[in-house]
Each structure stands twice: as C-alpha cells, then as structure tokens.
Structure 1
C-alpha cells in the first residue's frame, strides 16, 4: 500500500524530480509506520508464532500461528546466514517476549519473556523413519566406505522389520480388501449411533419439559436409578385403604361423648374403643332385658356380692374402731 501512494496518486505542485522520488521529496519512507524505528535497525513486521508457548507475564497459553506486530532486528550471523531477533508484546498482558532464529538447527529459540511448550519427542523411540542429519549426509557424500556400511545397515533394518510390516499389510487387507463392505459396516454403525443419540435427546427433552428445566442432562447411571427408585415419593396408603380406615374409626366411635370426652382427647382410637366397651356395658349400667332370666340372675348376684362386700368392709372398719 505504501509504494502505491508514492507512484500512482497525488504529486504536489512543487514536486521536483531532480530531488529524487516522491518519498524522498516528502521526507517519508515507503513502509510508512513500519519503518518508524528504521534508524535503530528495527523494522516492524507481521510475525507468526512458530510453536506453542507459555507467556511468563500472565501464564497464558499462546498457540502456534498467532500473529503479532514484531520488531525485527539483526543480531548476528551464522556463516553467511543472518540471525534475526523478534520482539513482540503479549496480547493478554504487558509482557514482552523475544524470539530469534536458529539457522544451525532450522528452528526458533526463545530468548526471554516466554517458555516453549514441550511436546517434542525422539522419533527414533517410536521406530519412525527420520531423515539423515547433516553430518551423516556429508559423510555419505564424501566417504564411500561409510556409504557402503550405511547401506548394509539399512538392508539389515529392512529385514528386521519385514515381519511386522507383513502383519500390518495382512491386517489391512483383511479389513479393507472389500471397500464396499467396509463402507457399509461403517455407515450402519454410524446410523445406529445417530439413532441412539436422537432417542436420548428426545428423552432428555421430555424430562426437561416435564420438570421445567433448561440444563443439559448427563447419561443415566445404574446407581442413580437405584437411588431414585428408593427415594420415590409414594403414599403409605391408597385412597381405598384410607377411606376404609376412616369408616372403621367412625363405626367404633362411642355414641356418648360425655363419658369419654377427656379420654378421646388423649387416647387413641383403640384405647378409646376398649374404654367405651368396659364403661358402657349393660352390666355396668344396670340395664336388664325383660325375659332374660340369666341376665337378671347375674345382675342380682352381682348386686348381692357388692352389698356383701360393702357390709364386710363396714364390719371390718367397725371392729377396728372398737378395738
């Protein structure tokens, strides 16, 4: 954008081509604000993070590929290759970190302000095929004997891993030889999983609508289902049982409330029933039925026994007083 402004747009009336270009005449640089520190050997560029790092200022993670406006300057040479250093500010805090190039190892090195997220490993530990190092490449190019030995070693390594490669090839052929069948199996499994997920979403939506909830539901667990069944809210008695119990209480309730008013306030239904049966019997009230000679005889006998007991108590009390 900067160079277009100097070549294709406005030229002032006092412009003199003998002075030089338009930027030189106006006292500006073609890179505009990017060259504001050019007198210090610093150029503002757009730098892309080469790998994942951790910021030392705020401790946040900065992913690979995040771009910054960085100050680029030359700090040295590696043979004929210049070494550049980039200084940029974290977008999450006020911390600055610096990264420089490493031409010897074809990498970047963090100078200060951050640390690299270490997720590297040695590929030889995983038996991966790795390219040759520079020292090995030079020896292969210069030393014929080393090249021969290196070739023999590669052949031995190939023979060593041949059985494993054969097993992998046979396993691949057994699964993917018939592409149509494998594709059908995968699609069938995908449809089953999709139908299960759809049914689960419908059940969860029904539960949320029934309970007036608006939260995601976790999968069901056997222990949770068992606990929920134990904590289910069910009445101790049904409506029919409760009505039958109320009817029995009304039937066995005493007719005369005056005799059992106090007891009914403090005793239960069973105790009140026993009290009413004992206190409101025919014998205790002296009620006789006409024509019932057995009942009349029993009443007369009970009255005689009561009179005898009273007379006996009176005689005994009199004798005690005389003595």
Structure 2
C-alpha cells in the first residue's frame, strides 16, 4: 500500500515527470519540487509541468525550490505531512561535471544533505533517492552487482552519487531513516533529456548534422526505458528497508546493512552495442546518420551492465523493454513534439 501523499524532488526532470504522472494516475497526491534550472531547455520542463497540470490539476502541488535552499525546504516539510520522499533532484551529466564541478557539490552533496536533514527533523517512513550506474566506474567484472566494490569512480558526478549512498547509510544508521538508493542505468524515452546521446543523435540526424561517435563506437550501454524505471520505483516505494542486526559484510549482501538501508540496480540487464543502438535509431527515424568517429571522452566508461537479480527477488520485477520498442516510442514522440516532417 502506497501512502497517498508523496514528495518528488526534481519533479519536472525526465524521471520525475514520468514518475509524477504514474503516481497521479494511481490517485496519489504528489508534491512536486524543482528549481527549473537551465542545464537544458527550460521550455521542455515548462511543457512537462503544463502536461501534468492539465491532466492532474487538483492532485499536483508544485513548488519552485532548489534543494540547496535549506530554509524553503524545511518550510515545505513543515507545511505538508510528508511520509514518502523520492529525491530525483540532482545536477546530472557525466561530461558536464568535468567543466562545472561546483554545481555537483552544491546540488548533489549540499542539496542531498538538506534532504536528509529534513527527513530527520520531519520523520518520514521511506526516502528513495537516485544513484547511478556511474558509481561502478572503472569496474571490469560484469554484470555490475550491488555486491561489487564501487570505490573507483571516473567522474566527479559518479563520486557524488557514491557519496549520496554513504550519506544515506549514515542517516539510516543514526536516525533510523529507511533509505533506498536507486542505481539507474542509462534511462531513455519520450520527454527525455536533450543532453543524452539518444536525444542529441536524433536531433542531429533529423537536421542532417554529423553525430559524434565516441571511442569509435566500441562501447556498450544498458539502455533502460523510462516506463521500466518508473515501474521499479513504484514497486519499491512500499518496501521500506528493515534493520538487520545480524548483518555481516563477510557473508551478507553489500547492498543491504545492519541499518534500514538498501541499494538496487534498475537496468535492462541487456547491454547494447553503440553501433547497434545507432542503427536502430536510424531505422526508426528513417534516415541514415553522418557519423564522426571520436576518441573516448574523459569520464566515460566502456560498458554498463546491470545485475538486477535482487530487484527480481524482492519485487518480482525486471525491466524488459527492447531497444527497438523503446527507441520507436521515443522517435514517435520526438517527431510529434518538434513537429518533424521527414
């Protein structure tokens, strides 16, 4: 049973938008928070907001707040009797973190600390928060498991996400706040982020511009369709982690703890070669890409591949949308949203 009032930070972001719609469709009131920053096209966020309000105007309560603003955040928690928090607000993007490191410290560390403190001062039943597959960094063993060591990040973004998991564990232990970290694997789909490869590739192919194919296409990603991500989150909401006083790191899962703490991978469990991904995208758009082959970019990894066995065991769910189906839905949305005629 899911509580009928849930706070979603980053509610106008890609995942936040889809999750808000899903919960609202289930009759759940959503308190949405977003700072509407200009990391990418603000109009896309505004249109997401307009769509939510047009469909669910009486159940969606929106606040323009940055999670780095501790005072406004605490006022929000004090005003609403919030029992479930889903923190999706963060400065996203691996490559952007190379150029703008302080943005990541402000939002992903200070902002997340403010969320944790609010959950402590206004006790909640469950805090779920976005982590990332990027925490696996330079790991070679695949599929990536929550039982693997994640102490070798290759970007500051990844380091902040790993830090979020450590901070959450500390608050779970000290203040009995049940926390669940969600390691998302390359999320894609309609209403997505323009800075992601599938989105920028589509734009460039449609406009006849060359696409940059990094590492000469020798990369793999565990592309995960947005509906699968949302389904996983919704199923995890009522499953607040429990303490396990007998937990022993030498024999128990590293994604669990003696504290009420859990970490899950949410990925498609089926990595796709970058060149296959591009070929499927070309087919769905109906136009061939002009490819410009490039060297590997700093902060990138060669492969992501999610082990989702714990997700399957605990909530009987495994993402399953194929890249053909998912990209088809994205391209259909893109053509309609941008009024593309080919």
TM-score in same-fold range (> 0.5): no
Give the structure-2-normalised TM-score: 0.17
Structure with higher helix content: 1
Give the structure-1-normalised TM-score: 0.18
Structure number with larger C-alpha Rg: 1
